[in-house]
């Protein structure tokens, strides 16, 4: 196997980037960082893997741009895409058995698995809203207690498929997704039974978030390990719901603003340092909990909400951090660090790993 670091991305994204079109992944940063630090990288998609020959077709950076190359499969691969079907995951399992190390491991992208890990950690658990595997019983239990419910896919990103269900009375609810509808409990149950397979979803109590300019917001908090084994939070960006009634994701029309600006505008000055410390402490606690279960889970993106009383709430942990928020917020220094830390980690791992050569 090659000591070159692999970066596994979505095929569509890769093809767009190689045609010079903009993508959420900043390929220019991959190239600049690799050349600056002397890291050999190859970027490819899962479709480029030639498993029978243990080879991969991809692109390597040079001063002139990106060049096509076929080489042996790297022993360390930074996974920057999600897979919903079994075939890609089975292929990655085969590579793992052959000694390939994935950063982040490909078997923790399921939000339910992540919740089980964090629910068992005392430091993280106190910051997690009530969360259950999807079922009508869970939805009904929260609604009957007067709570608003969030239903979200176990595997997904950018807010796709997320629903908000608010109780209006003992018999009626307001369901918000791409549109709003008032339904009876029986009508809601029918929709959840026929259109939304709840077994693929998580049910979570909705937290009443603090607001910036009268709009709800949450924070994206990246936490990463560098080549020296140090956990870092390069920066914090606020995602503000703009066009969507409650979703803050950029893919749902949200706006990205430097986190310190939003926090300073919303909370009293004397509380800001303590709140920032709590958020960072939460990030480090989550990182330790996840990496203690999955050793090479070292590039995580936390979605953290803050309620009106200043308590941080952990909504989910992303194993493919949507870094585009930092670009849109103009946080270029932080963005560069977010790309640098995992590359340095992977390069160090590739030099030190005892994975067998093939």
Q: Tell me the C-alpha distance between 81 and 339, whole Å.
A: 15
- Edge-to-edge order in the sheet of strand 163-167: 131-133, 201-205, 149-153, 163-167, 172-176, 180-184
Mean pLDDT of the chain: 90
Mean pLDDT for 179-205 is 85
Which sign, positive or negative, has the C-alpha torsion 74, 77, 80, 86? positive
Beta carbons of 131 and 118 less than 8 angstroms apart: no
Beta carbons of 347 and 229 less than 8 angstroms apart: no
Lookup: tokens for 120: 């068992």
With cut-offs at 50, 70 and 90, classify the pLDDT of residue 218.
Answer: very high
Helix axis angle, 136-144 to 185-194, nearest 10°: 150
Q: 223 or 159: which carries more pLDDT confidence?
A: 223
User: Does the pLDDT of residue 357 top 50, yes or no?
Assistant: no
| Strand ranges in the chain using DSSP code E only, listed in sequence order | 2-8, 41-44, 49-50, 55-62, 65-72, 74-79, 101-103, 131-133, 149-153, 163-167, 172-176, 180-184, 201-205, 211-212, 215-225, 231-232, 237-240, 255-258, 299-306, 312-318
Q: 243 or 168: which carries more pLDDT confidence?
A: 168
User: Does the pLDDT of residue 356 top 50, yes or no?
Assistant: no
Give me the percent of the chain exceeding a pLDDT of 70: 93
User: Does the pLDDT of residue 354 top 60, yes or no?
Assistant: no
pLDDT for 199 equals: 79
pLDDT for 338 equals: 97
Question: In this predicted model, what pLDDT tens digit does every residue of 134-168 receive, in sequence order?
Answer: 899 999 999 999 999 999 888 776 557 788 899 99
User: Does the pLDDT of residue 1 top 70, yes or no?
Assistant: no
Beta carbons of 349 and 5 less than 8 angstroms apart: no
Beta-carbon contacts of 272 under 8 Å, excluding residues fewer than 6 positions away, are 263, 264
pLDDT for 245 equals: 64
Question: In this predicted model, what pLDDT tens digit does every residue of 247-284 receive, in sequence order?
Answer: 766 666 688 999 999 999 999 999 999 999 999 999 99
pLDDT for 161 equals: 77
Predicted TM-score of the model (pTM): 0.90
Asked, colleague to colleague, whether 2-107 and 122-127+208-346 share their fold, the answer is: no
With cut-offs at 50, 70 and 90, classify the pLDDT of residue 192.
Answer: confident
Question: In this predicted model, what pLDDT tens digit does every residue of 63-81 receive, in sequence order?
Answer: 889 999 999 999 999 999 9
Nearest Cα residue to 237 out of 250, 254, 218, 252: 218
pLDDT for 335 equals: 98
Domain boundaries, the chain: 2-107, 122-127+208-346, 131-205
Question: In this predicted model, what pLDDT tens digit does every residue of 74-129 receive, in sequence order?
Answer: 999 999 998 877 899 999 999 999 999 999 988 787 888 899 999 999 999 999 99
Nearest Cα residue to 40 out of 27, 59, 20, 53: 59
User: Does the pLDDT of residue 325 top 50, yes or no?
Assistant: yes
Look up the CATH number of domain 2-107.
Answer: 3.40.50.20
Look up the CATH number of domain 122-127+208-346.
Answer: 3.30.470.20
User: Does the pLDDT of residue 321 top 70, yes or no?
Assistant: yes
Mean pLDDT for 204-222 is 92
The lowest-confidence range among 182-191, 231-240, 269-278 is: 182-191
């Amino acid at each position: 196997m090659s000591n070159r670091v692999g970066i596994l991305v979505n095929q569509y994204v890769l093809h767009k980037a190689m045609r010079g079109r903009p993508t959420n992944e900043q390929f220019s940063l991959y190239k600049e960082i690799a050349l600056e630090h002397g890291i050999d990288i190859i970027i490819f998609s899962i479709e480029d893997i030639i498993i029978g020959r243990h080879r991969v077709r991809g692109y390597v950076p040079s001063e002139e741009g990106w060049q096509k190359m076929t080489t042996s499969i790297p022993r360390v691969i930074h996974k920057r895409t999600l897979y919903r079907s079994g075939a890609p995951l089975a292929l990655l399992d085969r590579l793992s058995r052959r000694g390939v190390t994935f950063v982040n491991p490909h078997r923790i992208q399921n939000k339910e698995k992540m919740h089980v890990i964090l629910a068992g950690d005392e430091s993280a658990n106190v910051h997690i809203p009530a969360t259950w595997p999807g079922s009508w019983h869970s939805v009904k239990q929260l609604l009957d207690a007067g709570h608003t419910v969030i239903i979200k896919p176990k595997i997904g990103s950018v807010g796709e498929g997320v629903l908000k269900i608010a109780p209006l009375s003992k018999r009626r609810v307001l369901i918000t997704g791409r549109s709003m509808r008032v339904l009876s409990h029986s009508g809601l149950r029918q929709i959840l039974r026929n259109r939304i397979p709840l077994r693929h979803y998580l049910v979570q109590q909705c937290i009443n978030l603090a607001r910036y300019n009268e709009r709800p917001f949450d924070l994206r908090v990246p936490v990463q390990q560098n080549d020296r084994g140090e956990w870092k939070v390069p920066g914090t960006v606020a995602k503000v719901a703009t066009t969507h009634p409650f979703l803050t994701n950029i893919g749902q029309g949200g706006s990205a603003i430097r986190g310190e600006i939003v926090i300073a505008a919303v909370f009293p000055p004397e509380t800001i340092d303590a709140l920032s410390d709590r958020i960072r402490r939460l990030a480090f606690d989550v990182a330790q909990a996840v990496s203690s279960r999955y050793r090479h889970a070292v590039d995580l993106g936390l979605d953290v909400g803050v309620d009106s009383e200043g308590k941080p709430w952990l909504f989910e942990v992303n194993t493919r951090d949507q870094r585009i928020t930092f670009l849109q917020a103009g946080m270029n220094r932080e963005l560069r660090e977010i790309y640098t830390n995992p590359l340095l980690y992977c390069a160090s791992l590739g030099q030190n790993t005892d994975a067998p050569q093939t």
